[in-house]
Structure 1
Amino acid sequence: MRHFISVDQLTTEEIYSILQDAEKLRNNDYKLERQLFAANLFFEPSTRTKMSFVVAERKLGIENLDFHSQNSSVLKGESLYDTAKTFEAIGADFLVVRHEEDDWYKELEGKLSIPLINGGAGAKEHPTQTMLDLLTIYQEFKTFKGLKIAIAGDIKHSRVARSNAVCLQKLGAEVYLSAAQGMERDVLEFPYLPIDEAVEVCDVVMLLRIQHERHEHSVNTYDYLEQYGLTKERESRMKDNAIIMHPAPINRGVEIDTELVECERSRIFKQMNNGVYVRMAIIINVLNEWGILSDKATEKYQTAI
């Protein structure tokens, strides 16, 4: 795992290994002994992913090199490649990149001597979000095989939908999609269910927000909740042990009734907490693969977890 770009690159064994490492890191205070620097290059707005990486890095004792695209040389026309090369040159040991382009990483492939971690790629990939979602589901059910999971919302524009659906199917889950007309994604070959059917048959209902910033025209959300979202009435028909998930940010009263965000079934804030430990595990695995961690540090890590 030289770079962490896509869940497609991971074997089943590697997925479970990262999940196990994340759970162990939650219960162990592990810091790297060598000073390392991380550059979180976020070219799109982010709260959870960016701050989760910052907390993960600080828990590991990694110094963060601050970057804000709106105050950077990007506004002067600097390319992603030159920005990345700049941070490599000044001493970053790895880069976390979020960019609006689906394939931003192709601009950097084979051109950097430090690892890359994908913090979000257009509407195509969000692999670290997938890993934290997997951990949340696994904590609940201890398996993926045979689980019925509905991903409901703006499927067409969601990088979470694509990454999660592919990975969950690989692990043995039955994945269903649910979307308003015009928000389907034909290239994802998964069956679609109306939201009223999905809530009754699925073990996990994962809501997605409408990605207004990716739509060509404004979207009227006046009756979206009643037609396509998770209302309190629909929640009442969910299976007894079924859970609610959402990658956030949440548009309360649009894709989910505000009273359900923190209800007993909800694992939304647990997902956020899991993100810190999953990202710690991913960082360590990538650094270890590159030999950036010393043999002593690697041995200490293996002992700690």
Structure 2
Amino acid sequence: MTKVLSKPHLLSMKQLTNEQIFHLFDIADQMKRNEYRSTMHPFFAANVFLEPSTRTKSSFQVAERKLGLDVINLDGGDSSVTKGESLYDTLKTLEAIGVELAVVRQSEVGLLNECQQLNLSLINAGDGSGEHPTQSLLDLYTIYEQFNRFEGLHVAIAGDLKHSRVARSNAHALQQLGAKISFVTKPEWQDDRLTSNYITMDEAVDCCDVLMLLRIQYERHDGKQQADSKYLQNYGLTKERERRMHPHAIILHPAPVNRGVEIDSELVESPKSKIFKQMTNGVTIRMAIIQTLLKGEI
């Protein structure tokens, strides 16, 4: 028997149809044109970030306040999770005091699935190396703004695939939307959960419409590791490689960017780069997600 959720959640890109993705884009477009009217007040939202975050946390805070929500912010030091309380009990407490929506980042893959019966909407803001659906949606929105389609686009995802929740969310969604996906990574960072279409960075820059770079996530590797001094030359986007990209091609990166590691520093703000555009779009698409969830439309 299928479990009936008490409130709608966004935990994985796998739960969204193409129609739902494009519906979110339509709402985001309306918000960009200031054609929406916020009906969110006096809803309460809680941002529960048990892992470090700059862009995602700040983006959600701005999105929530633009929608008129009252906001509670909790991090690892504020939460009783540090005293041994389970995430479920933390969220149950927020539900009990009247919070309607919780944005959660934490390190255990799939943990939020155990909290779906709670009577508040949950947004997965990153669960370890599992998924990051809101990052995926802002990436997709940025691509769609540029090309107005996904069918026929060639997207190359390059970097630390084995530990990247962004790669997993985007690979699924882009394939579902009709894009061709290739992967670039070191052999030890290949991931069996993704397709086996691995190419070199030199091949990627010659053929891709979208080059999506990923940060090396040393914090998820076993043991202490230092940046590979040859990584940029072997697997990153150098200035020479960028010159070989198609004139219409764009560069994406979920950030934080390690300048000079996965991408030459001068290319971060180059004409092809949409990295800071992604951040701007992050606020808009998260406003659309929050409004849609609180209206029960996902």
Report if TM-score (shorter chain) is over 0.5. yes
Distance 2:242 2:229 in 1: 20
Tell me, in whole angstroms, the C-alpha distance in 2 between the residues paired with 1:82 and 1:152: 38
1:131 has 2:137 as partner: yes
CA distance in 2, matches of 1:280, 1:131: 12
SS at match of 2:156: strand
Measured against aligned partners, the alpha-carbon deviations of 1:216-255 in whole angstroms (never above 9, x if no partner) come to 0314421110111000011011011100000000000000
Note if 1:20 corresponds to 2:26. Answer: yes
Q: Which residue of 2 aligns with 1:50?
A: 57
Deviation at 1:190, TM superposition (A): 4.3
Map of 1:193-232 to 2, 5 A cutoff? Answer: 193-217=199-223, 218-232=225-239
Secondary structure, aligned partner of 2:244? coil
**Alpha-carbon distance in structure 1 between the residues aligned to 2:247 and 2:280:** 24
Correspondence 1:243 to 2:250: yes
Counterpart for residue 45 of structure 2: 38
Aligned-residue offset at 1:69: 1.2
- 2:67 corresponds, among 28, 37, 60, to 60
Tell me the secondary structure at the aligned position of residue 143 of structure 2.
helix
Q: Aligned partners of 2:40 and 2:203: how far apart in 1?
A: 52
Paired position in structure 1 for 2:4: none
Comparing 92-101 with 66-75, which one deviates more in the overlay? 66-75
The residue that corresponds to 2:14 in the other structure is: 8
- C-alpha contact (below 8 Å) 2:41/2:67 kept by paired residues: no
The reply on whether 1:182 has 2:188 as its aligned counterpart is yes
Q: 5+ residue gaps in structure 2?
A: 1-6
Deviations 1:26-54 (A, max 9, x none): 11163226311100111110111111000
Paired with 1:237 and 1:186, the residues of 2 have a C-alpha distance of 30
**TM superposition score normalised by structure 1:** 0.92
Query: Could you tell me how far apart the structure 1 residues matched to 2:268 and 2:109 are?
Result: 30
Alignment check: 8 A CA contact 1:42 1:50 kept: yes
Consecutive unaligned residues of structure 1, counting only runs of 5 or more, are: 292-305
Deviation by residue 1:101-123 (Cα, 9 ceiling, x = unmatched) = 1111122122x111111111111
> What do residues 41-89 of structure 1 show as CA deviations (whole Å, max 9, x unaligned)?
1111011111100000000000111212123322211110111111111
Q: 1:85 is aligned with what amino acid? A: K
CA gap of 1:90–1:252, structure 2 versus 1, over 3 A, is: same
Structure 2 counterpart SS, 1:119: strand
> Aligned ranges for residues 219-298 of structure 1 at < 5 Å?
219-289=226-296
TM-score (norm 2): 0.94
Distance 1:290 1:272 in 2: 25
Letter in 2 for 1:187: R
Identical-residue share of aligned pairs (%): 54
Q: Give the Cα separation in 2 of the matches to 1:24 and 1:180.
A: 41
